[in-house]
Amino acid sequence: MKEKKIAVVSMVRNDSFFADKWITYYGQQFGLKNLYLFIDGLDQKLPVLADSINCYPIPHTKLSRSKGDRKRVLHISKFSHTLFKTYDVVLAMDIDEFLVLDPLQKTSLQAYLSQEFKSSSLSALGLDVGQHPLHEAPVDLKQPFLSQRSFAQVSDRYTKPVVALQPLQWGSGFHRVKGKNFAIDPHLFLFHFGLVDLEQAKQNATNDQLRSSGWEGHFNRRHQLYEQLKSVPPKEGDSFFRTARNYFQKNRKWYAWNKPAPLKENGIISIPKRFKTLV
């Protein structure tokens, strides 16, 4: 099977934590020359590895959180259309999200995505990883995240169609594809690391610029994961993944027909050990 040409796109602002990890990970998967990162603001410090990839600083426009999300995803959607002139597949995600193939498949992410798929996009099962406040130390950026974190929450919010197999337009936050249904792949996972380090998350939550643009409520909701990790016994991951995929595929809100509906149970799980060295 001939490997398809795959590009990866994201945008970042006010980050000193995830960008170089994003570049390193996706560069290993698809080659550094196939990564495209927009830096939102000409005043922003570039990632250490910026010169290794296609890195584009662009002017920043001060907007509310919701308007900023829409502007960002529209920019990336339009850019992805140009990439399809030379690429077969385009991945797009937030800077703290990492697409992972289940190691049980015993092949590379590149080879897996080079198959022929019937859908226009692929969604990966979303795992929202958090630092356990009682049992886990601050994250060491020089070591794999998953070697230091044992728990996550299976999440409809992060079960995102980040794999585009043809030109399309994502909705805000890459949570849906406009005008199209979703297909959850049985072997792909999207690890979200926004809460991987408690101290870093606290710093973001007290950032005056972010709070003033409408992020305060988002942070308050998100940080509930830390309390859930302390109080909810985790399920065994592998036994729950199929249940969650089936539920997300079959259930959605009437007003959001092309996004999965939230689980009716708490999806705190133990991350299987085979993922430990991957990100």
pLDDT on residue 205:
55
Architecture of the structural domain at 6-275: Alpha-Beta Complex (3.90)
Query: Assign residue 77 a region: left if phi > 0, alpha if psi is -120 to 50, beta otherwise?
Result: alpha
Report the candidate in 257, 198, 258, 267 with the shortest Cα–Cα distance to residue 232. 267
How many angstroms separate the CA atoms of 226 and 215, rounded?
A: 18
pLDDT on residue 211:
47
Token representation of residue 30: 């698809």
- Residue 211 is classified by DSSP as I
Residues 43, 209 contacting (CB under 8 angstroms): no
Q: Are strands 121-130 and 151-155 parallel, antiparallel or unpaired?
A: antiparallel
Using alpha carbons only, give the angle 206, 207, 210 rounded to the nearest 5 degrees: 120
Tens place of pLDDT per residue across the chain (279 aa): 789 999 999 999 888 789 999 999 999 999 999 999 999 999 999 999 999 999 999 998 887 777 878 889 999 999 999 999 999 999 999 999 999 999 999 999 999 999 999 999 999 999 999 999 999 999 999 999 999 999 999 999 999 999 999 999 999 899 999 999 999 999 999 999 999 998 888 776 555 555 445 444 445 566 788 889 988 899 999 999 999 999 999 998 888 889 999 999 889 999 999 999 999
How many angstroms separate the CA atoms of 36 and 166, rounded?
A: 17
One DSSP character per residue, 136-181 reads -PPP-TTS-GGGT--EEEEESTT----EESS---B-GGG--BTT--
Contacts of 8 by beta carbon, 8 Å cutoff, 6+ apart? 26, 29, 30, 34, 35, 36, 90, 91, 92, 93
Domain spans in the chain, listed from the N-terminal domain onward: 6-275
> Hey, CA dihedral for 251, 257, 260, 264, is it positive or negative?
negative
- What confidence tens digit (pLDDT) does each residue in 75-95 have? 999 999 999 999 999 999 999
Q: Which amino acid is at 79?
A: F
pLDDT on residue 252:
86
